[in-house]
Amino acid sequence: MAVLKTQTKSAIETYPALKTCRGRFFKWRVFVVAYLGYACLHSLRSSWGSVKPHVGDDLHWDTSFLGTLDFIFLMVYGIGIMFWGAIGDKSNKRYSLCIGMSIAFCGYIVIAITGWTQVLNQAIMIIAFSVSGIGESAVY
């Protein structure tokens, strides 16, 4: 039985320009931007669980509607993972990550604007949670 031998090269071997000072700066810049992007998305997603009871009390939303928001987000997130997985395999991962982060950002901006303007319509919140779910599915 023949064993397939694949040659794997490190990024430094593939791109020798990364050895330079400019290349190291580029690597650090990419790392910092990616880390901050993931940290922001994670903090936005994980903070919802701790503020959900207070949001329900302040806005007089019952627990069934809050559960519906969670269900909608997770359902769209699960479907989106299959969708973005296929796209990410066939396209440039940088572009799909940037598009996904932008979509998730738009969903969170809608949630923030509705909170600031006190236009707290349940239909708008369902749409905003759906948009953020499809955007976050591209990132995670």
User: Which pLDDT value is given to residue 137?
Assistant: 92
User: Which pLDDT value is given to residue 76?
Assistant: 96
Residues 6+ positions from 110 with CB-CB distance below 8 Å: 124, 127, 128, 131
Mean pLDDT is highest, among 10-19, 71-80, 108-117, for 71-80
pLDDT, tens only, 81-130: 999 988 888 888 888 888 998 999 999 999 889 989 988 899 999 999 99
Residues 6+ positions from 83 with CB-CB distance below 8 Å: 134, 137
Q: What's the pTM value of the predicted model, to 2 decimals?
A: 0.76
User: How many whole angstroms from its chain centre is CA 37?
Assistant: 8
User: Which pLDDT value is given to residue 34?
Assistant: 83
Quick one: pLDDT band at residue 1, thresholds 50, 70, 90? low
